[in-house]
């Protein structure tokens, strides 16, 4: 009995303290008053003595007016010309004593201010959020309604080619850290009224603006609803990059394979939206997330669609071969050296045996040591300044590799295998995290069980890939489950005039991309008639 009474008292105490645990004070939840000084005092209490908060008071039509903004995030030129000048000079159309049914705030909004976005509000919390979001707040003495003017003036990086997705042929522009700049770049690519952009705020403290983009009529509505649900469920203090959101919405957080894609290129994003995918913009980062993300996208590049289909298909096969090299080559070397030397031709086996003579480390130790050295050099090249980093990575690899062979610590075949593995790892950057773990996993299995361990590991990885899904879409589709119509854009790229349908597993609602198109060079009726007339007039004779 005493224990139950104690529990009831404890629960009652927690219920009483619950409103305070949310961190919402009474002042922030209050409405504006007619006294201007009281409203300014509420703002000072909410923001403290912040050096970048500017309160500019002036008189308009015998009424005291206060402008509140944060210096550095608003457009000063627009503030001076469109707001301050308008309130102090261009007020001849405003009635200083508005009659019943009208207010000074409405007159200023309709006749004086020329800013594009003007919002009225009586809620102090709404105006404060607008102030922190690069808005200018206008408060009037004697009015319990304020105005929020949207005049952002952030310093942004110029649009340039992204370093992570450079191309030989194709657009050179890439996304930047400004959300509205990125959206405008997407609008330039897709001039359709069906392009939908919906805003969500994520992060209790940062209140980062996140935008969900999709094309109505092409996208699966269930995927859009699922994306929104997962974004709303995110409960975190701040979101500083799209990687935060990726880790909250991915389907398999404990898998080494990514189930959420990302890109910096507007043309690539537009192509994915046209296939029925959903994009997630995050303010403050140039990386835009895309879902669903399939494994086949790892070996695809935007340049494949701009070049001829034969070269595009060849490059995709090379990327797939590089992915196999970087994950399987060290394991194959260990398996052949330690367990199955009979798999090699006799001259090659004798050459490898002579090169390994005097090396104290086994094949597994050689591969692990060289792999660790390569990862250290790559990390140093990334973290150091660009000129220094390139020199360290190149010179370091040459010096360490040559010195290790000369000292007899590793054999020359192991260095060649390590070099091919390192070069191949840069071909498929979207699977860079998975490549490292797969390489280590297969190498350890080959070191303990040879080819048998290698085959068992391959079956386990393939089974794991087949079990993954990205927002309900099988990760290995269209290969598993098999969709023969979608194989035109997987390991190879068929000509554009044959890909008349969108991917069946993604763009199911509107699967038809275009009508049946004749192959280039196939003459129609008009072309045949022109050619016949040309021959009759003697134009075809020598």
The secondary structure of 267-327 as a DSSP string is: HHHHHHHHTT-EEEEETT-S-EEEES--GGGGG--GGGGTS-HHHHHHHHHHHHHHHHHHH
Cα–Cα distance for residue pair 50/44, rounded to 1 Å? 9
Instruction: Supply the range of the domain harboring residue 139.
Output: 28-150
Q: What separation, in Å, do the N-terminal and C-terminal C-alpha atoms of the chain show?
A: 114
Residue 464 and residue 347 in one domain: yes
How far is the C-alpha of 350 from the C-alpha of 458, rounded, in Å? 29
User: How far is Cα 92 from Cα 94, in angstroms, rounded to an integer?
Assistant: 6
Residue carrying the six token digits 């919402």: 24
Please say whether the beta carbons of 245 and 278 come within 8 A: no
From 163, 160, 171, 179, select the one nearest 285 (Cα to Cα). 179
155-171 pLDDT tens trace: 778 888 888 888 888 88
Cβ atoms of 221 and 439 within 8 Å: the answer is no
Distance CA 405, CA 415 (A): 8
CB 425 within 8 A of CB 432: yes
What's the mean pLDDT in 354-383? 80
Inside any domain, residue 388: yes
Q: How far apart are CA 83 and CA 136, in angstroms?
A: 9
Tell me how many domains the chain contains: 3
Residues forming a β-bridge with 119: 148
Is residue 90 in a domain?
Answer: yes
Residue ranges of the alpha helices (H) in 22-81? 26-29, 36-47, 76-78
Q: Which of 109, 133, 150 is the last residue of a domain?
A: 150
Element (H, E) at 261: strand 261-263
What is the DSSP code string of 298-310? GG--GGGGTS-HH
Question: For residue 208, is it within any domain?
Answer: yes
Lowest mean pLDDT among 69-78, 383-392, 521-530: 521-530
Contact (Cβ atoms closer than 8 angstroms) between residue 123 and residue 114: no
pLDDT digits over 167-205, tens only?
888 888 999 988 888 999 999 999 988 899 999 999 988
Q: How far is CA 136 from the centre of its chain?
A: 30
Mean pLDDT of 248-256: 91
Cα pseudo-dihedral 525, 531, 532, 534, rounded to 10: 150
| CA gap 147, 86 in Å, rounded | 14
Neighbour-count burial of 533, counting CB atoms closer than 10 A to its CB (0-12 exposed, 13-18 middle, 19+ buried): exposed
The DSSP code sequence of 156-187 is -PPP---STT--SSS------S-HHHHHHHHH
DSSP state letter for 341: G
| 247 in any annotated domain | yes
pLDDT value of position 244:
92
The confidence band for 466, taking pLDDT boundaries of 50, 70 and 90, is: very high
More confident residue, 18 or 244: 244
User: CA torsion, points 518, 522, 527, 529, in degrees to nearest 10?
Assistant: -110
Q: Going by DSSP bridges, is the β-strand pair 469-470/473-474 parallel, antiparallel, or unpaired?
A: antiparallel
Considering 457, 473, 489, which residue would you say is the last residue of a domain?
473
Q: What's the rounded Cα separation, in Å, for the pair 19 and 30?
A: 15
Two tokens, residue 406:
């000369």
List 198's β-bridge partners, or say none.
Answer: 212
Residues 265 and 342 in one domain: no
Q: Across residues 263-284, what is the average pLDDT?
A: 92
Are 338 and 273 in a shared domain? no
Order across the sheet with 261-263: list the strands: 195-202, 208-215, 278-282, 288-291, 261-263
Contact 303, 327 (CB under 8 A): no
Q: Are 203 and 238 spatial neighbours (Cβ–Cβ below 8 Å)?
A: yes
Domain boundary among 234, 263, 293: 293
- What is the predicted pLDDT for the residue at 523? 57
String of DSSP letters for 465-487: HHH-EETTEETTTTTTTT-GGGG
How many other CB atoms are there within 10 angstroms of residue 374's CB atom?
20
From the list 244, 183, 184, 190, the residue with the least C-alpha distance to 215 is: 190
Higher pLDDT among residues 231 and 359, named by residue: 231
- The CA-based angle 408-411-414, given to 5 degrees, is 145
Residue 326 and residue 243 share a domain: no
DSSP strand pairing (261-263 vs 208-215) = unpaired
- Residue 329 and residue 445 share a domain: yes
Verify that 322 and 458 share a domain, yes or no: yes
Condensed to tens digits (0 to 9), the pLDDT of residues 196-238 reads 999 999 998 888 999 999 998 888 889 999 999 999 999 999 8
Residues 510, 385: Cα–Cα separation, whole Å? 48
What pLDDT is recorded for position 439? Answer: 92
Helix axes 221-232, 242-249, angle to 10 degrees: 110
Considering the chain, what is the average pLDDT of its residues?
A: 81
345 and 457, same domain (yes or no): yes
Query: Does 355 share its domain with 231?
Result: no
Whether residue 198 is contained in a domain is answered as yes
Q: Is residue 243 part of a domain?
A: yes
**Same structural domain for residues 325 and 250?**
no
Flag whether 6 is in a domain: no
Residue 123 lies in a domain: yes
Domain match, 456 and 331 both: yes
Confidence of residue 67 (pLDDT cuts 50, 70, 90): confident
If one counts every other C-beta atom within 10 angstroms of the C-beta of residue 419, the result is 14
Of residues 214, 266, 262, the one with CA closest to residue 242:
262
324 and 253 fall within a common domain: no
My answer on whether 324 and 454 are in the same domain is yes
pTM of the model: 0.81
Burial of 163 (0-12, 13-18, 19+ CB in 10 A): exposed
The whole-angstrom separation of Cα 229 and Cα 210 is 13
**Per-residue pLDDT for 474 more than 70?**
yes
pLDDT digits (tens, 9 = 90+) for 410-459: 777 888 888 888 888 888 888 888 999 999 999 999 988 888 999 999 99
**CA-based torsion, 149, 153, 154, 159: positive or negative:** positive
């Amino acid at each position: 009995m005493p224990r139950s009474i104690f529990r009831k008292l404890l629960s009652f105490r927690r219920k009483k303290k619950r409103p305070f645990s949310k961190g919402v004070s009474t002042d922030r939840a209050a409405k504006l008053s007619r006294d201007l000084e009281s409203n300014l005092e509420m703002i000072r209490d909410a923001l403290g003595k912040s050096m970048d908060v500017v309160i500019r008071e002036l008189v308009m039509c015998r009424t005291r007016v206060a402008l509140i903004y944060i210096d550095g995030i608003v457009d000063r030129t627009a503030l001076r010309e469109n707001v301050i000048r308008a309130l102090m000079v261009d007020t001849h159309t405003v009635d200083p004593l508005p009659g019943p049914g009208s207010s000074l705030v409405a007159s200023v909004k309709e006749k004086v201010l020329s800013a594009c976005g003007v919002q009225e509000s009586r809620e102090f919390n709404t105006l404060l959020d607008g102030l922190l979001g690069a808005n200018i707040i206008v408060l009037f003495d004697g009015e319990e309604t304020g105005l929020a003017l949207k005049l952002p003036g952030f310093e942004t990086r110029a649009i340039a080619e992204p370093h992570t997705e450079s191309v030989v042929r194709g657009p050179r522009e890439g996304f930047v850290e400004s959300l509205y700049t990125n959206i405008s770049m997407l609008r330039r690519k897709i001039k359709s009224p069906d392009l939908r952009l919906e805003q969500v705020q994520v992060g209790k403290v940062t209140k980062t603006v996140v935008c969900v983009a999709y094309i109505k009529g092409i996208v699966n509505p269930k995927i859009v609803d699922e994306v929104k649900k997962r974004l709303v469920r995110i409960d975190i203090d701040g979101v500083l990059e799209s990687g935060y959101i990726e880790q909250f919405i991915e389907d398999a957080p404990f898998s080494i394979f990514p189930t959420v894609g990302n890109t910096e290129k507007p043309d690539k994003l537009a192509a994915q939206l046209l296939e029925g995918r959903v994009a997630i913009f995050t303010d403050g980062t140039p990386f835009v997330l895309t879902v669903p993300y399939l494994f086949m996208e790892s070996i695809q590049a935007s340049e494949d669609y701009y070049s001829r289909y034969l070269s595009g298909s060849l490059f995709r096969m090379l990327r797939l071969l590089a992915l196999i090299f970087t994950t399987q080559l060290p394991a194959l070397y260990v398996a052949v050296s330690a367990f199955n030397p009979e798999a090699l031709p006799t001259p090659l086996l004798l050459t490898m045996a002579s090169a390994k003579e005097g090396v104290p480390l086994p094949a597994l130790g050689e591969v692990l040591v060289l792999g660790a050295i390569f990862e250290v050099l790559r990390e140093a090249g990334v973290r150091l300044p660009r000129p220094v980093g390139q020199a360290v990575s190149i010179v370091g690899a040459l010096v360490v590799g040559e010195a290790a062979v000369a000292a007899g610590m590793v054999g020359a075949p192991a260095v060649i295998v390590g070099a091919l593995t390192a070069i191949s790892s840069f071909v498929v950057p979207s699977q860079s995290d998975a490549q490292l773990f797969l390489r280590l996993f297969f190498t350890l299995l080959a070191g303990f069980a040879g080819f048998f361990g290698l085959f068992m590991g391959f079956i386990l990885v393939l089974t794991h890939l087949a079990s993954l899904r990205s927002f309900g879409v099988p990760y290995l589709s269209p290969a598993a489950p098999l969709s023969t119509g979608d194989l035109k854009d997987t390991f190879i790229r068929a000509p554009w005039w044959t890909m008349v349908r969108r991917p069946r597993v993604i763009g199911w609602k509107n699967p038809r991309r275009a009508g049946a198109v004749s192959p280039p060079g196939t003459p129609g009726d008009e072309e045949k008639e022109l050619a016949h007339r040309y021959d009759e007039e003697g134009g075809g004779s020598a």
